[in-house]
Amino acid sequence: MKSLFASFLADVGYQLELLVQVLVRLGSIARRRELIADQLFQAGIKVVHVVLLVGLFIGMIVALQTGIELSRFGQQDKIGTIVALSMAREMGPFITATILAATVGSALAAEIGTMAVSEELAALEVMSVDRVSFLVLPRVVSLAVMCPALTVVCDTIGIIGGGFIAESQLNVGLSLYYDSALEALQGGGWWLDLPKDVYSGLIKSFAFGVVVSIISCAAGLRATSGALGVGNATRKAVRDSIIAIIVSNYFLSWLFFQE
């Protein structure tokens, strides 16, 4: 138990140190633009179809589950508002970050872990190549950008999916559904005139993108012992990322919505 706790503290310490190293190197973003563009493609375009599919069904599930209960009280016309706010506040950011942890985060850990066990990281060190700037920074920046962007995609397709259910299962007209959904997502906020429900979700997504990328890169950098070590690093990256997403989600939600 004691060694587990010590190992947990060592992991968190290493991740925080890596985060600080990335922040210190933010000035290198322009120099790393080609690597960042490549990572944006890996973290965004290659994952967008998964986000579209999962987001669509999440929106449909939210609409179905809440719509059934609302219809018992004759309140099903509120379904647009509920789906829109659920997607924007929680489901969109959480689902997108989880998809990115499972797809991109695992790939990051495996890629960097393979580099670690095949001496490529040692080669970078020998050549005095700054591996944080060269390897980690582009991956953190790309996930920090793509996570909010994909969250918008997830929110949008989820609301559209909810609309299918509203019309086909709950007898709520599409125009009423979309009017209430759009009304819930408009005005009243301080940032780009967005309501807190939307910008809080986007800020959370940004934080999740950073968390997933840092945890995954850290797991890869610390991989040892050949293929087994790479497997362990990948598993650890996905597990720790999902735990960190959930824990940080609670605290960020508390920060935004505490009364």
Partner 1 sequence: MAEEPIIRFEDVHKAFGSRQVLSGLDLDVQQGETFAIMGPSGCGKSVTLRHVIGLLKPDRGRVLVEGNDMARIGRKELRELRSRMGYVFQEAALLNWLSAGDNVALPLRETTDMPEEEIVERVRDKLALVHVPDVYDKMPGELSGGMKKRVGLARALVTDPEIVLYDEPTAGLDPEIAASINQLIRELGEGLRVTALVVTHHIGCVKIVADRVGLLDGGRLHFVSTPVEFLSSSEPRLVRFLGDRMD
Residue 118 makes contact with partner 1 by CB under 8 A:
yes
Q: Contact between 21 and partner 1 (CB under 8 A)? A: no
Helix (H, G, I), strand (E, B) or coil at 254: helix
Instruction: Determine the 3-state secondary structure of 59 from DSSP.
Output: helix
Backbone torsions φ then ψ of 189, nearest 5 degrees = -100, 175
One residue of 1, 4, 30, 126 binding partner 1 per CB under 8 A: 126
Regarding 4 and contact with partner 1 (CB under 8 A), the answer is no
According to the binding rule CB under 8 A, does residue 192 interact with partner 1? no
Told to check if 17 binds partner 1 by CB under 8 A, we report no
Taking CB under 8 A as the binding criterion, the range among 129-137, 139-147, 188-196, 241-249 that sits at the site for partner 1 is 129-137
Among 26, 68, 129, 227, which residue sits at the site for partner 1 (rule: CB under 8 A)?
A: 129
120 binds partner 1 (CB under 8 A): yes
Q: Is 174 in the site for partner 1 (CB under 8 A)?
A: no
Q: Minimum Å distance from CB 122 to partner 1?
A: 6
Q: How far is the CB of 208 from partner 1 (least distance, A)?
A: 26
Which one, 157 or 217, has the nearer CB to partner 1?
217
Backbone angles phi, psi at 132, to 5 degrees: -70, -45
Give 98's contacts (C-beta < 8 A, 6+ positions apart).
242, 245
Stretch of 6-14, 127-135, 140-148, 235-243 contacting partner 1, by CB under 8 A? 127-135
Q: Does 123 bind partner 1 (CB under 8 A)?
A: yes
Contact predicate 174/163, CB 8 Å: yes
Closer residue to partner 1 (CB): 24 or 129: 129
Measure the CA–CA gap between 71 and 50, rounded to whole angstroms.
31
CA 209 to CA 248: how far, in whole Å?
12
CA distances from 18 to 129, 175, 221, 233, 249 (A): 16, 49, 10, 16, 21
* CA nearest to 150, candidates 193, 196, 106, 205: 205
Q: Is 122 in the site for partner 1 (CB under 8 A)?
A: yes
Rounded CA-CA distance 7/236 in Å is: 12
Q: Which of 127, 190, 192, 250 binds partner 1 (CB under 8 A)?
A: 127
| In contact, 208 and 253? CB cutoff 8 Å | no
Where along the sequence are the contacts to partner 1 (CB under 8 A)? 114-115, 118-120, 122-130, 134
